[in-house]
Structure formats: C-alpha cells, structure tokens
C-alpha cells in the first residue's frame, strides 16, 4: 500500500467521522404530537368539562348524554329538574333515569342506526309533558335534548276542547230545530204548530246565548274588556239584579230577598259587570232551586279575604236548591262544565256563565268561590275591594 493510499483512506475515515458527528448534532425531527381527540370521540368525559356545563346551563332545554350501553354520562341541571331527579344519576341506566320504556327503546334505535328521533313523554314523577329529541354523537353515545312543552300542550288541548265543546253545544239545539221544522212542514194541527214554534224560539235563544257568551268570554280572556271602575255602593246593583230575576223566580214560586250589611261602604267596581255577575249567579240559583225554595243575596264587610288584607265586601247568593256534589265543586268554574248534562239540558245553559263571572270578579281584584252540600242548596260568594 502506497503512502498515497494510506492518506486517502485516512481522509475518508476523517470525513465519515465528521459526517456522523454532524448528524449526531442535528436536532431529532419532532415526534408528531397526538392529535387532540374530538371531545366525544374516545369517551364522554367532555360532558364533565366546565365549558360544556356552562353551555348546557345556558340552554333552555335539558341535556342528557349516554354511552353505547345507554348508561348516563351527563345530566344537566335543567334536565334533572324536568325529570324530577333528586340525586346524582351519572352511571345509572337510562331506563332508571327516564322510567319510560318507549324513550329507552328510541335511544337504542338511534344508537343502532344513527338516525335522530323525537317523541313526547309524560313522566309521572314530574307531571309534565316533555319533548325528547335524541341524536347520535360522532362517537360512542347519544345526546338527548329535552324540552318542557307542558304549557304548549295545555293550550293545544284547551283549543281542541273548545272546538269540541262548541260543536257539541250547537249540535243539540240544531238537531231539535231540524226535527221541529220537519214536524211543522208536515202541517200538523194549528195548536201543535204553535207549540213547535214556541220550542223553536227557545232553541234559537239557546244558540244565541251560546254565541253571546262565547263572544263575551273571548273578549274578556283576550283582555279587550276594560272595567270602568268607580267607588260605588252595592245596594242599587243588588236591587237591579233582583228586579230583573223576579219574574222568573215568581214563575217558579221562589222567595227572593236581600240582606245587606256594610252597604254604606263604597266598593271599587264596574256596576254593569258586577250586575252581570250577580244576574248570572241569581239565574243559576233560580234554575237549580225547585218550587217553594228561596234565593237570597247577602253582603257584609270582611277584614281579609284568603289572607289578603282588606277591607273587602263579600257578596253571596244563597239558594235552597239541588246543591252541587263535592267532587264537581272544584270544576264548575271551568268553561263548559256542567254537573249533570241531562239535568242542565232541561234547565238550559251553556256552562260558560261561571267562567265569565270568575274572570270578571278577578278583574276587580276579588275572588269567586262556591260552597254547597248536595241536596241542601248552594252559596256562591265573591269579594270586591272596599274603595
Ligand atoms: P250554565 O249555563 O250551565 O248554568 P254555569 O257556568 O253558570 O253554566 O254553571 C255551571 C254548572 O254549575 C251548571 O251547569 C250547574 O251544573 C252548576 N251550578 C251552577 N250554579 C248552581 C247552583 N246554584 N245550584 C246547583 N248547581 C249549580
């Protein structure tokens, strides 16, 4: 080996050493950091994070997150309230939380095919109507969004009831009108025709009363009736109402009377509307009291009414009539409620009078209620604020 070869080999070794040294000094290429897992991807613990909790608290809906086994992983405070859950429910099965097999099955289906679904549920524990929407999460679980629709469904039911009641109330007089017209068309003897015409007039009055009262109720409930309040004495209003009811009472052989104490105190009232309330109560008293009975109007001053300090004037209409069964008593102020439909049909009436009267009394700031013992008469009382 020549000297030149040795020199070349040494040079090569030195160069290789320098290259290795340089390579060794270069910083190692950075190890890529693991990509942050999407919050719902690996597990549902993101539900416990403060931001998520703050967002859930700001929503007007309740949130519940479940895993693939339908175990509860998160319940927002709102959802806990709506479902009436007392203790911490994380870790429980969804069925234990909702106590509703249909809802549990719906979540299972969403977890299976990923399609969002909705349903309405009525948890017995809270007595509310809840709308539940369930969507799959992009990962192992599902999110339930729960809205309280109790108010909306009550309004819907009341609208449906109103339509059903109005058509029911109209059907009866219209059916009997049709029958009466057909009978008159068959040219019966003159006295029968006269009687039928009288009955037709009565049926027309019933329909007219229904339409008038419905209109009244709609006006009052929509706040379109403004009370013309003034400090006035109750005496003349009671006298006028009794005067108007007297012919009907006399026809049935009923005694009528008024006992007014505290009548010197002026009350803040709209006399036409208070007169309407009184007339309605008197009308019912006469209608549901049989011959020989009595209808009495009483008025007295009271210091407080149902915990509200007064003074108040309490006006009562008492009768010695059929009375109202105790189970019906809390419901008679509802629209269209009648204790005994067959009996009321004979006596006439729409079932709207007391609902209207209650609105009118409450519009004055007072209260209307009834006391009765079945078979022993009824007393309807209302309060008005002393001016
Ligand atoms: P209506 O037009 O049918 O009289 P109301 O709303 O005035 O409607 O009364 C509702 C129901 O309450 C009546 O149908 C009747 O069953 C009952 N009621 C009201 N007042 C009396 C009363 N003085 N005595 C017995 N029952 C009554």
pLDDT of 130 over the 90 cut: yes
Q: What CA–CA distance (Å, rounded) separates 221 from 242?
A: 27
Identify the pLDDT of residue 119. Answer: 96
So what's the pLDDT on residue 156? Answer: 86
CA 207–ligand 1 middle distance (angstroms) = 17
Confidence at residue 37, expressed as pLDDT on a 0 to 100 scale: 40
pLDDT band per the 50, 70, 90 thresholds, residue 58: confident
Residue nearest (by alpha carbon) to ligand 1 atom 21: 284
Going by the DSSP 8-state scheme, the letter that residue 28 receives in this structure is: P
Q: What pTM does this model have? A: 0.67
Q: Which of 118-127, 144-153, 300-309, 312-321 is modeled with the greatest confidence? A: 312-321
* Ligand 1 center–CA 383 separation, angstroms: 19
Would you state the pLDDT for residue 153? 87
Average pLDDT on 279-283 reads: 96
pLDDT tens by residue, 321-345: 999 999 999 999 998 888 876 555 5
Residue with the larger pLDDT of the pair 155 and 321: 321
User: What are the respective helix, strand and coil percentages of the chain, to the nearest 5?
Assistant: 45, 20, 30
**Is residue 371 within a helix (H) or strand (E), and if so which, with residue range?**
strand 368-372
Closest Cα to atom 13, ligand 1: which residue? 338
Indicate the pLDDT class of residue 34, thresholds 50, 70 and 90: very low
φ, ψ for residue 361, nearest 5 deg? -65, -45
What's the confidence (pLDDT) of residue 353? 93
| Model confidence at 144: pLDDT above 60 | yes
- Digit-coded pLDDT (tens) for 190-235: 999 999 999 999 999 989 989 999 998 888 888 888 899 999 999 9
pLDDT at 10 over 50: no
Query: Which protein residue has the closest C-alpha to ligand 1 atom 2?
Result: 349
Long-range contacts of 147-156, Cβ-Cβ distance < 8 Å, separation of 24 or more: 147/60, 147/61, 147/62, 148/82, 149/120, 153/120, 153/129, 154/129
Return the residue whose CA atom lies nearest to atom 16 of ligand 1: 339
Task: Give me ligand 1 centre to Cα 284, in Å.
Answer: 6
pLDDT of residue 57: 84
Residue 311 CA to residue 245 CA, distance in Å, equals 29
Averaged pLDDT for residues 287-305: 94
Distance from the alpha carbon of residue 312 to the mean position of ligand 1, in angstroms: 25
Let me know: does 314 contact 299? Beta carbons within 8 Å: yes
Residue 4 above 50 pLDDT?
A: no
For the chain, what percent of residues have pLDDT higher than 90?
58
pLDDT band at 23 (very low <50, low <70, confident <90, very high): very low
Q: Residue 263 — very low, low, confident or very high, per pLDDT cuts 50/70/90?
A: confident
**Whole-number pLDDT of residue 165:** 84
């Amino acid at each position: 080996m020549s000297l030149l070869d040795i020199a070349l080999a040494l040079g090569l070794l030195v160069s290789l050493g320098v290259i290795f040294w340089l390579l060794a000094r270069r910083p190692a290429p950075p190890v890529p950091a693991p990509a942050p897992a999407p919050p719902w991807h690996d597990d549902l613990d993101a539900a416990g994070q403060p931001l998520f909790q703050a967002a859930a608290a700001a929503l007007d809906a309740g949130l519940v997150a479940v895993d693939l086994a339908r175990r509860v992983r998160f319940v927002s405070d709102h959802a806990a309230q709506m479902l009436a859950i007392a203790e911490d429910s994380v870790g429980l099965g969804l069925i234990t939380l909702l106590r509703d097999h249909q809802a549990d099955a719906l979540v299972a289906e969403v977890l299976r095919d990923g399609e969002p679904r909705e349903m309405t549920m009525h948890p017995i524990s809270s007595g509310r109507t809840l709308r539940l929407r369930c969507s799959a999460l992009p990962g192992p679980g599902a999110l339930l969004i729960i809205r309280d629709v109790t108010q909306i469904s009550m309004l819907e039911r009341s609208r449906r009831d109103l339509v059903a009641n109005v058509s029911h109330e109209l059907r009866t007089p219209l059916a009997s009108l049709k029958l009466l017209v057909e009978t008159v068309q068959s040219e019966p003897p003159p006295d029968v025709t006269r009687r039928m015409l009288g009955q037709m007039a009565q049926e027309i009055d019933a329909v007219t009363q229904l339409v008038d009262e419905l209109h009244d109720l709609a006006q009052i409930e929509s706040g379109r009736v403004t009370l013309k309040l003034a400090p006035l004495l109750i005496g003349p209003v009671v006298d006028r109402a009794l005067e108007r009811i007297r012919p009907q009472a006399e026809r049935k052989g009923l005694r009528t009377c008024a006992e007014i104490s505290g009548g010197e105190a002026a009350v803040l009232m709209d006399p036409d509307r208070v007169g309407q309330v009184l007339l309605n109560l008197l009308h019912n008293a006469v209608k549901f009291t049989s011959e020989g009975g009595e209808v009495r109007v009483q008025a007295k001053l009271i210091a407080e009414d149902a915990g509200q300090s007064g003074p108040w004037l309490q006006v009562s209409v008492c009768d010695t009539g059929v009375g109202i069964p105790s189970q019906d008593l809390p419901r008679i102020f509802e629209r269209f409620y009648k204790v005994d439909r067959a009996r009321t049909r004979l006596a006439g009436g729409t079932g709207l009078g007391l609902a209207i009267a209650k609105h009118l009394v409450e519009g004055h700031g007072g209260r209307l209620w009834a006391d009765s013992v079945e078979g022993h008469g009824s007393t309807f009382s209302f309060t008005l604020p002393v001016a």
